[in-house]
Amino acid sequence: KDGAGAVLAADALDGVVGSVAALLTIEPGYADAVVAALGQLADAVAVDSTDAAVEVIRYLRTEDAGRASLVLGGGEAGEGVRESTGASGALRSIPDGAVLASSVVSVSTAVGPGLVSALDGVVVVDDLVQARRVLEVDPSWTVVTRAGDLLAADRAWGGSAAAPSLLHLQAA
């Protein structure tokens, strides 16, 4: 069942802002990387508060309408951040040849902080060779390639093209 589609089609739900795909603008050449970095959030629905998220989840359960990933808002919208912090909150240097994933997206609504935080600690590089080098130097990064492969100290994801996400279709 398409829970996200059911939520977006429902008229009676307060606080639903829209699909994440419709709320992001991605710089050309970075869509695959951003989709990989966001994972299931690439097809999520943006809501403006925790209360809205609770209402959406209750709706999905009551209507047996499936499941949906949600991104919660609560702050100023705008450009992506240009710096990244680790778990300690200290600023980290961007690896050579990499760009912050959050710096290649612009968010068009007040759900920006939720989307940008999903990209915190994620850098984009050209290929897997460079991704591996970044992790060797600093394994605290999550590294995605422009082709959409993801490497981190605790997980990896990639391979040939998957079915396009809603974000892919929006960016096209």
What element of type H or E holds 17?
strand 16-19
User: Given a cut of 90, is residue 32 above it in pLDDT?
Assistant: yes
3-state secondary structure of 39: helix
- Nearest CA to 69 out of 52, 46, 48, 49 is that of 46
Q: What is the pLDDT of residues 54-87, one digit of tens each?
A: 999 999 999 999 999 999 986 444 444 444 544 4
Give yes or no for a contact between 82 and 21, defined as CB atoms under 8 angstroms apart: no
- List, in order, residues 6 or more apart from 158 with CB less than 8 Å away: 36, 128, 145, 147, 148, 149, 150, 151
What distance in Å separates the CA atoms of residue 164 and residue 161, rounded to the nearest whole number? 8
Q: What is the pLDDT of residues 121-158, one digit of tens each?
A: 999 999 999 999 999 999 999 999 999 999 999 999 99
Which pTM was predicted?
Answer: 0.81
